[in-house]
Structure 1
Amino acid sequence: MFSAVRWTAHGVLLDLLSTALAVGIAGVAVTRPRLLAAPGWALPLRRLQSGHVGDYVAWLLVGVTLLGALALPGVLG
């Protein structure tokens, strides 16, 4: 029913690579924030998110609705 979990060299290398990339991107974000800053065309989108809890709820509902609309043809067909 359940198979034993095995570590492979390939899996371990991918895990280490993912961790190194995450640490590298975080380091760049801390030391050079302008390098990863949002481009100028994204400023109107940033104004839509003020950081209030209601904004997070609204964007969550927008995302769930969009995902539901995209999945609906697969569910019905």
Structure 2
Amino acid sequence: MLFGLVATAPAVGLAAVAVTRPKPLAAPGWALSPRRLRSGHIGDYVAWLPVGAGLLGALALPGILTS
């Protein structure tokens, strides 16, 4: 139980800071261009799902082939 409280306290604190003062936790400049690729429409999720799955598959392929 103590571990749960110790793990929850920083999470609640960080969430409180993010809600009350979002500017210090804003995305850095280099992260803004990838964020522009996502508009929030369902088509974006449909398009990026195979891209992410393909990337994960490509990263896992060397480990699969050497086993």
TM-score w.r.t. length of structure 1: 0.73
Structure 2 counterpart of 1:53, one-letter code: I
Structure 2 counterpart of 1:51, one-letter code: G
C-alpha RMSD of matched pairs (Å): 1.4
Runs of 5+ in structure 2 lacking a partner?
none
Which of the two has higher C-alpha Rg?
1
Ranges of 4+ aligned residues in structure 1 off by more than 6 Å: none
2: CA distance, partners of 1:53 / 1:42: 21
1: CA distance, partners of 2:55 / 2:12: 32
TM-score w.r.t. length of structure 2: 0.81
2: CA distance, partners of 1:18 / 1:63: 30
1:22 positional shift: 1.5
